[in-house]
Amino acid sequence: MTDPSFLNDEPFPSEGALPSGGSSPSGGSFLSGGSFLGGESFLSDEPVIAVVRAPRIPDAAALCAALAEGGINLTEFTYTTPDVTSHLERASKAGWRVGVGTVLTAEQAERGMAAGASFLVTPGCRPEVAEAGRSAGVPVVLGALTPTEVARAVDLGAAAVKIFPARAFGPGYFKDLRGPYPEVRLVASGGVNAGNAAEFLAQGALAVCAGTDVVPPEVVAAGDWAEITRRARVFTEACAAAPAR
């Protein structure tokens, strides 16, 4: 019979993971939230990121202004949007806090940062994007879904880890992840709306991504900024119902 005492031994770390208290390639400690990328402050005062995917954006700066009027001060323009770097340049030069999302390569990361992106977001763990952000001192939000992927994202120095698609397991999944990863900054993305955003925050997400619930492609393309402000205000008011972080 197998000696059951082996169950008292320390578990083997997953591939690419570090034991609690170890060091990541960033030089920070595991679960530190990617300190080399400004993890201590990134997202600490902003619980919502607007994620814009639209076939056309008439005025990126005006869009950011409309979102800010509704209470959303971080805007992510994605590489699935035509001419995304032009939109980044216009909005960043106007003084808005913008990032670039759906970043898959270091080249995309560098182009986005050159255009004014102050943070990078990926749909999954992308080591070369993490390295590009580290080299430039720009926060990177790496996408993940499973506990192993969360550990991998932290090992790569993510300032925060985007759980995508969040709708796959719902708000309760964030409470589960907070068990083994109490210090990791988690961001809920995919399927988050005004009806469930507060619950994601209450269950352990540091921030949530507001997509089509706030910035529907057709409304953005039409340049209906008043409607964008209205939607942003509804979303942020819903988030305010979550317990204080």
Mean pLDDT value across residues 78-82: 97
Per-residue pLDDT at 41: 67
Per-residue pLDDT tens over the stretch 107-118: 999 999 999 999
Summarised one tens digit per residue, pLDDT across range 124-170 is 999 999 999 999 999 999 999 999 999 999 999 999 999 999 999 99
Give the span between the Cα atoms of 127 and 135, in whole angstroms: 12
pLDDT: is 15 or 151 the higher one?
A: 151
- Output the pLDDT for position 33: 38
> Looking at residues 54-80, what average pLDDT do you find?
98
pLDDT at 10: 36
Model confidence at 78: pLDDT above 60 = yes
Active-site residue, selected from the candidate residues 110, 162, 175, 218: 162
The model's confidence at residue 100, banded by pLDDT at 50, 70 and 90, is very high
In this prediction, residue 43 carries a pLDDT of: 84
- Predicted confidence at residue 29, as pLDDT, reads 36
In this model, does residue 171 exceed pLDDT 60? yes
The catalytically annotated residue of 10, 76, 93, 110 is 76
Q: Is 69 a catalytic residue?
A: no
Q: What is the mean pLDDT of residues 173-190?
A: 97
Q: Is 227 a catalytic residue?
A: no
226: confidence class by pLDDT, cuts 50, 70, 90: very high
Q: What confidence score (pLDDT) does residue 23 get?
A: 39
- Rounded mean pLDDT of the chain? 87
Confidence of residue 244 (pLDDT cuts 50, 70, 90): confident
Residue 11 confidence (pLDDT): 36
Length of the chain, please?
245
Residue 2 has pLDDT above 80, yes or no: no
Q: What pTM, to 2 d.p., does this model score?
A: 0.84
Which CATH superfamily includes the segment(s) 45-239?
A: Aldolase class I (3.20.20.70)
* Residue 13 confidence (pLDDT): 36
